[in-house]
């Protein structure tokens, strides 16, 4: 879950902070830098896989550090931050959207942390003015940056005294920002007058709530292994017609059984988490930092006792791990492990490779319930085919009770098995249009794929009654034709113009019509 730290560098951050125990004069920006360093130290110790970017803003915004796991580079950039003019938080939020979308897709959840002094600015460009006009804008260029087009929690940490008049006026405005984003987040402020200690406590409290790793016990029969999930799983909350569903992941991940990858196919999932084995020594170290005791889920405490082997510092690489065994087995056998992660809540463990040489053990979380994967049926009724008894059909006996079943792929081809276009979110439409553009830029080599994707989107638009998309796609292809380099193939521009004209023709409104490629006499090797 990438993190964007957004630091206010307006002139109000230079206001001095009187401290009784120090003769030196410190400014609010110094406290902000100290708090961010506290946050980075916590992330480096507890969430080493986190990517972090640093953005500063005043009236404009600037990306100081791109997404990185080198937290020292972020700290170094903080020491060189300069102050500028007035505050405009809307500009900063727009910059965050640009930074995240350039690096990550619109489906990757992020944490956005705004560090400011509680001053919202004055006049045009102030937060108050932005919130008064955010829902009255028609132009796309001036559209309010919230809600973010990607999953993101918005947190605002204020470097301000509890009784500051600016803070009291800003708190409802900050809360309204979080409400507009509607994806979670909180506003934090020190509980006591400003000092390095109170700011550090505020950032530490935020870090413990947001970046504390999730530890669990992976279990399969008599095999057990302590593991850590990254990113931390979020509680599931959903309002249905007659009830509110709330689920929290259990501290025990119990493997219920195994299925071939072909049988489980691609079930709908809520989130995906990396499973990392953790040593008992590391877990005891965490419990020792809490006073030598480990708090269980039910609120009871168990003492953390170190063994002699742990005190000797045995290398983790030489310690047997069930998680490593499970990962290797799933990878070799091409199977997944159906795992119970809570009350009526399941997921699947599998081997996922981000490259040809490196693979990881991953957990994909299903929606709570037992029948969320139609072709598998009730997950608690799954069993091997050899365990299913044959029903005895006799007129003197009652009809057999429902029996446990195993996944069997039906012989007939269902309509939902066909490849179809789904545009639930704007990201789906955007990715389809980008696919057409990628093929267009590789004409004539990708001519067949280009026309296939274009006709597929055209038919989907006609099915949905989205006729405006045809004109938009034609305009896009004409623009792409004008931007072709001089070294492009001679037929590339002709094919793009032909496709644009075909989308505007009356025949394009006929769903059974297919726009065919333009026949040219150019050889494949001819160039302009």
The answer as to whether 127 is a domain residue is yes
Question: Are 176 and 221 in a shared domain?
Answer: no
Pick from 161, 163, 157: nearest CA to 185:
157
pLDDT at 311: 44
Burial class (CB in 10 A: 0-12, 13-18, 19+), 135: exposed
Give Cβ neighbours of residue 528 (< 8 Å, ≥ 6 apart). Answer: 486, 487, 488, 489, 490
Estimate the crossing angle of helix 447-464 against helix 426-440, to 10 degrees.
Answer: 150
Question: Are 142 and 251 in a shared domain?
Answer: no
The answer as to whether 460 is a domain residue is yes
Give Cβ neighbours of residue 116 (< 8 Å, ≥ 6 apart). Answer: 8, 13, 87, 89, 156, 157, 158, 159
pLDDT in tens, 457-492: 999 999 989 999 999 999 999 999 998 888 888 899
pLDDT at 409: 58
Joined tokens for residue 237: 């909350």
The answer as to whether 92 is a domain residue is yes
Backbone angles phi, psi at 134, to 5 degrees: -65, -30
pLDDT at 425: 77
Pick from 87, 55, 85: nearest CA to 68:
55
pLDDT in tens, 175-189: 999 999 999 999 999
- 71-77 contacts at long range (C-beta below 8 A, 24 or more positions apart): 71/40, 71/41, 71/43, 71/44, 74/5, 74/36, 74/40, 75/37, 75/40
How far is 327 from 248, CA to CA, in rounded Å?
25
Point out the domain boundary residue: 154, 179, 211.
211
Mean pLDDT, to the nearest integer, of 16-25?
A: 78
Joined tokens for residue 361: 């053990």
The answer as to whether 495 is a domain residue is yes
pTM value? 0.69
pLDDT in tens, 404-459: 555 655 566 555 545 678 787 777 888 899 899 999 999 999 999 999 999 999 99
Across 212-216, 267-271, 278-282, 475-479, least confident range: 278-282
How far is 229 from 218, CA to CA, in rounded Å?
11
Question: Are 180 and 227 in a shared domain?
Answer: no
Give Cβ neighbours of residue 214 (< 8 Å, ≥ 6 apart). Answer: 228, 229, 232, 233, 249
pLDDT of 301 above 50: no
Question: Are 218 and 207 in a shared domain?
Answer: no
Across 248-252, 311-315, 383-387, least confident range: 311-315
pLDDT of 298 above 60: no
Question: Are 508 and 365 in a shared domain?
Answer: no
The answer as to whether 519 is a domain residue is yes
pLDDT at 113: 97
The answer as to whether 103 is a domain residue is yes
User: C-alpha distances in angstroms, 230 versus 107, 162, 185, 217, 271?
Assistant: 16, 35, 19, 14, 11
CATH number at residue 118: 3.40.50.410
Buried-exposed string 68-105: b where 16+ CB fall within 10 A, e elsewhere:
eeebeebbeebeebeebeebbbbbbbbbbbebbeeeee
pLDDT in tens, 94-133: 999 999 988 887 878 899 999 999 888 888 888 998 998 8
How far is 343 from 324, CA to CA, in rounded Å?
26
Cα 175 vs. chain centroid, distance in angstroms?
23
Question: Are 198 and 222 in a shared domain?
Answer: no
How far is 460 from 418, CA to CA, in rounded Å?
14
pLDDT of 285 above 80: no
Give Cβ neighbours of residue 513 (< 8 Å, ≥ 6 apart). Answer: 507
How far is 321 from 243, CA to CA, in rounded Å?
41
How far is 199 from 457, CA to CA, in rounded Å?
53
pLDDT of 306 above 60: no
The answer as to whether 412 is a domain residue is no
Question: Are 237 and 182 in a shared domain?
Answer: no
Question: Are 225 and 349 in a shared domain?
Answer: yes
CATH number at residue 367: 2.40.290
My answer on whether omega of the bond before 231 falls inside 30° of 0, hence cis, is yes
Point out the domain boundary residue: 194, 211, 228.
211
My answer on whether omega of the bond before 444 falls inside 30° of 0, hence cis, is yes
Question: Are 184 and 222 in a shared domain?
Answer: no
Q: Is 286 helix (H, G, I), strand (E, B) or coil?
A: helix
Range of the domain at 455: 426-527
Question: Are 168 and 237 in a shared domain?
Answer: no
Backbone angles phi, psi at 124, to 5 degrees: -65, 135
pLDDT at 426: 79
User: Could you please report the per-residue DSSP string of 70-124?
Assistant: -HHHHHHHHHT----S---HHHHHHHHHHHHHHHS-TTS-EEEEEEE-S---SST
How far is 142 from 361, CA to CA, in rounded Å?
44
- Structure-model confidence comparison of residues 23 and 205, the more confident one: 205
Backbone angles phi, psi at 113, to 5 degrees: -120, 110
pLDDT at 93: 94
Question: Are 257 and 310 in a shared domain?
Answer: yes
The answer as to whether 407 is a domain residue is no
Question: Are 27 and 109 in a shared domain?
Answer: yes
pLDDT in tens, 206-242: 999 999 889 999 999 999 999 999 888 988 988 887 8
- Residue 50 Ramachandran class (φ > 0 left, ψ -120 to 50 alpha, else beta): beta
pLDDT at 110: 93
pLDDT tier for residue 333 given thresholds of 50, 70 and 90: very high
Joined tokens for residue 276: 């990392």
pLDDT in tens, 132-160: 888 877 665 578 899 998 989 999 999 99
pLDDT in tens, 26-48: 899 999 999 999 999 999 998 88
User: Could you please report the per-residue DSSP string of 308-332?
Assistant: HHHHTT--GGGS--HHHHHHHHHHH
Point out the domain boundary residue: 333, 360, 385.
385
pLDDT in tens, 357-403: 788 999 999 999 988 888 888 888 888 767 766 665 556 655 555 55
Burial class (CB in 10 A: 0-12, 13-18, 19+), 47: buried
Pick from 77, 68, 76, 8: nearest CA to 44:
68
Pick from 228, 224, 182: nearest CA to 322:
224
pLDDT of 332 above 80: yes
- Structure-model confidence comparison of residues 409 and 327, the more confident one: 327
The whole-chain average pLDDT of the chain stands at 84
Say how many domains are in the chain: 3
How far is 362 from 229, CA to CA, in rounded Å?
9
């Amino acid at each position: 879950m990438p993190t964007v730290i957004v630091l206010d560098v307006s002139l109000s951050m230079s206001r001095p902070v009187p401290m009784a125990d120090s003769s030196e004069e410190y400014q609010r920006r110094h406290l902000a830098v100290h708090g961010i360093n506290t946050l980075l130290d916590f992330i480096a110790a507890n969430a080493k896989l986190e990517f972090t970017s640093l953005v500063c803003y005043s009236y404009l915004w600037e990306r100081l550090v791109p997404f990185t796991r080198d937290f020292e580079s972020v700290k170094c950039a903080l020491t060189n931050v300069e102050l500028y003019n007035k505050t405009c938080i809307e500009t900063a939020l727009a910059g965050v959207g640009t930074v995240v979308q350039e690096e990550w897709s619109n489906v990757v959840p992020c944490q956005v942390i705004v560090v400011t002094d509680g001053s919202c600015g004055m006049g045009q460009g102030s937060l108050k003015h932005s919130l008064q006009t955010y829902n009255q804008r028609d132009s796309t260029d001036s559209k309010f940056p919230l809600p973010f087009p990607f999953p993101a929690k918005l947190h605002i940490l204020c470097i301000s005294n509890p009784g500051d008049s600016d803070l009291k006026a800003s708190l409802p405005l900050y809360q309204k920002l979080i409400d507009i984003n509607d994806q979670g987040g909180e506003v934090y402020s020190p509980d006591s007058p400003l000092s390095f200690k109170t700011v550090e406590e505020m950032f530490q409290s935020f870090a413990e709530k947001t970046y504390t790793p999730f530890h669990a016990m992976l279990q399969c029969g008599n095999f057990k292994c302590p593991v850590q999930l990254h990113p931390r799983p979020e509680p599931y909350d959903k309002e249905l017609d007659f009830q509110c569903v709330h689920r929290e992941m259990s501290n025990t991940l119990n493997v219920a059984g195994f299925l071939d990858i072909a049988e489980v196919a691609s079930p709908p999932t809520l989130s995906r988490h990396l499973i990392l084995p953790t040593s008992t020594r590391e877990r005891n170290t965490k419990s020792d930092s809490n006073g030598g005791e480990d708090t269980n889920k039910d609120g009871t405490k168990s003492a953390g006792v170190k063994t002699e082997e742990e005190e000797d510092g045995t290398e983790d690489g030489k310690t047997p791990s069930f998680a490593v065994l499970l990962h290797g087995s799933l990878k070799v056998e091409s199977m997944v492990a159906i795992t119970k992660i809570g009350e009526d809540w399941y997921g699947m463990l599998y081997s996922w490779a981000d490259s040809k040489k490196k693979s990881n053990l991953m957990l994909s979380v299903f929606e709570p319930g037992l029948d969320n994967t139609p072709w598998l049926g009730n997950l608690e009724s799954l069993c091997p085919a050899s365990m299913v008894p044959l029903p005895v059909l006799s007129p003197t006996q009652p009809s057999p009770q429902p029996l446990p079943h195993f996944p069997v792929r039906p012989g007939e081809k269902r309509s939902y098995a066909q490849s179809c276009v789904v545009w639930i979110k704007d990201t789906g439409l955007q990715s389809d249009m980008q696919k057409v553009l990628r093929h267009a830029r590789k004409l004539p080599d990708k001519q067949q794929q280009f026309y296939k994707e274009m006709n597929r989107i055209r038919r989907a638009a006609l099915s949905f009654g989205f006729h405006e998309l045809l004109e938009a796609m034609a305009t896009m292809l004409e623009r792409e034709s004008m931007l072709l380099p001089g070294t492009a193939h001679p037929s590339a521009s002709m094919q793009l113009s032909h496709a644009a004209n075909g989308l505007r023709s009356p025949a394009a409104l006929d769903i059974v019509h297919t726009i065919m490629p333009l026949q040219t006499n150019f050889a494949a090797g001819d160039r302009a």
